[in-house]
Amino acid sequence: MVRGSLVVAALGLGAVLSAQAGIAYVPFADAKPILEVIQPQLWPAALQGKSPAAVEALWSDWVKREDMAIRARVLEGDGDSVINFLLFGTSFTTQPRVTENELAGVLVRQRETGATRFVPSPLLEKRIDDFIAGLVSPGGNARLELARQVIARQSINPSTDAGKAQLRRYLEDRAAVVGSAVHASTLLDPNAPLVDQVTIFRDRGLSSDTSIAIDFGIERALEDVKSNGLLKPALVRRVAIVGPGLDFTDKQEGHDFYPPQTIQPFAVIDSLTRLGLAAAGGVQVTAFDLSPRVLGHFESARARARQGTAYTLVLPRELDRPWSRELTGYWQRFGDRIGQTATIATPPPTAGRVAVRGVAVRPSVVLSVTPRDLNFVVQRADLAAADRFDLMLATNILLYYDVFEQSLAMANIAKMLRPGGLFLTNDRVFELPSSPLRSAGMTDVVYLEQPGASAKGDRITWYRR
């Protein structure tokens, strides 16, 4: 992990060092068998070349620094989200969204060196103009408010001419980095070493983005798990979702004509109920996350639910994206077990050809989801045997971590699951011989059927404790 504690101290995150009630750091005893089997170059840099006794002596210090370094990546991820908002948002501009092709057009290859050089397109320049104007007067737009905070951390004042010029340079530079990353991930060489493929975002900021597609994947996996007898009907009571996410704006289905929202915890309750897996007394969901923005979002939704207010989910579907028939069917039935159809304002023309469904999630369902601060790479909740989870999920998260971090996360998950409990993920991880979680099967799902190109989807692996 390259990010140092100095960055974290500068950001004032030292408070995370104080232990939270019921949350423990991963002990050396759980790290030791991992270090014994992974190759020395996959050890954290600070521990490489050290004897087992020396690593043990350093462990409690290393684990706290690692916690702080990971939490600092949340701020970087917020910075990336702001750039996605600049590229794809429609709430601050009448300019069209930047498409994936246009994104390719704003990155040009320099002939003489072969290196990639960034040239902002006229469309991006106009978006930057409108974005800067929006930042000066956010007018209650939650995404512009977050953008202001991110910009303020750069000590840029967009109200002055000098600040505006500085902000333009900052946005152009960051758009170049985010644009290149989008390309790197879509163009990942399938022949790249497996370790690079499964840890592709290990050096990136932590994004909170989420969309409905993965929740369709989870519903399909739960269906398969049920028919294999790995989860019995009406017996799922306790569920944990690590990293539920909060959609912001992205290049696919993430739009900004509605407030930021979280989908996964509600989707999972909906699916467990539809499949007859939820216990008669209902399902309690713990939403573990380390992003204050994500955790705060749940707290606000719960406060509104206590006053009897439903949580409105807006589910966009871009009509020009070739969704599979199954995903479209899921989108149509989504929410029928947790709420009612809600009326949603028509999206602005700049959002493109998009259909929307609205679902008002019942307050009782909102209150069955409890947020909890946890960094699952280095922490676990200390749970009595009777309180361990029947089912845990972490989707689109493990690829942000290296092999050692992923293996620690798996050890922490195992400690929070009841014996026989299941962990579902769509990220590929190395299954180490020492891991208490064993792969019990997998489900392949198709999200996009692209004529003439390979279908896009996910493989959800079911791990069993």
DSSP string, 41-62: GGS-GGGTT--HHHHHHHHHHH
Contact 266, 212 (CB under 8 A): no
Would you say 126 or 317 has its CB closer to ligand SAM? Answer: 317
- Looking at residue 310, the DSSP 8-state letter turns out to be -
> Between residue 70 and residue 99, which ones bind ligand SAM under the rule CB under 6 A?
70
Would you say 160 or 300 has its CB closer to ligand SAM? Answer: 300
Residue 401: closest CA among 42, 40, 48: 42
* Long-range CB contacts for residues 282-285, cutoff 8 Å, separation at least 24: 282/368, 283/236, 283/237, 283/238, 283/239, 283/368, 284/237, 284/238, 284/239, 284/368, 284/370, 285/239, 285/240, 285/241, 285/368, 285/369, 285/370
Write down the least CB distance from residue 73 to ligand SAM, Å: 8
DSSP string, 63-83: HHHHHHHHHHHHHHHHHHHHH
Among 66, 80, 209, 250, binds ligand SAM (CB under 6 A): 209
Write down the least CB distance from residue 195 to ligand SAM, Å: 19
Residue 447 near ligand SAM by CB under 6 A: no
Write down the least CB distance from residue 457 to ligand SAM, Å: 14
Q: Is 80 exposed, middle or buried (0-12, 13-18, 19+ CB in 10 A)?
A: buried
Would you say 81 or 435 has its CB closer to ligand SAM? Answer: 81
Residue 270 near ligand SAM by CB under 6 A: no
3-state secondary structure of 303: helix
Would you say 69 or 106 has its CB closer to ligand SAM? Answer: 69
Residue 404 near ligand SAM by CB under 6 A: no
Among 66, 80, 289, 390, binds ligand SAM (CB under 6 A): 289
3-state secondary structure of 182: helix
Q: Which two tokens stand for residue 347?
A: 């999206």
Would you say 103 or 409 has its CB closer to ligand SAM? Answer: 409
Name the pairing type of β-strands 23-25 and 379-381: antiparallel
> Between residue 290 and residue 309, which ones bind ligand SAM under the rule CB under 6 A?
290-291, 294
Would you say 43 or 376 has its CB closer to ligand SAM? Answer: 376
Taking CB under 6 A as the binding criterion, the range among 51-59, 141-149, 165-173, 288-296 that sits at the site for ligand SAM is 288-296
Would you say 22 or 349 has its CB closer to ligand SAM? Answer: 22
Residue 243 near ligand SAM by CB under 6 A: yes
Residue 425 near ligand SAM by CB under 6 A: no
Taking CB under 6 A as the binding criterion, the range among 99-107, 152-160, 202-210, 348-356 that sits at the site for ligand SAM is 202-210
Among 375, 412, 435, 461, binds ligand SAM (CB under 6 A): 375
Residue 406 near ligand SAM by CB under 6 A: no
Q: Which two tokens stand for residue 27?
A: 């002990």
Distance CA 340, CA 312 (A): 10
Residue 377 near ligand SAM by CB under 6 A: yes
Distance CA 390, CA 423 (A): 9
Q: Give the residues across from 50 on adjacent strands.
A: none
Among 264, 412, 435, 461, binds ligand SAM (CB under 6 A): 264
Whole-number Cα distances in Å, 21 to 291, 373, 376, 381:
18, 11, 15, 9
Distance CA 429, CA 427 (A): 6
Among 210, 261, 271, 425, binds ligand SAM (CB under 6 A): 210
Write down the least CB distance from residue 198 to ligand SAM, Å: 15
By CB under 6 A, name the binding residues for ligand SAM.
Answer: 70, 206-210, 214, 242-245, 264, 288-291, 294, 374-377, 395-397, 400
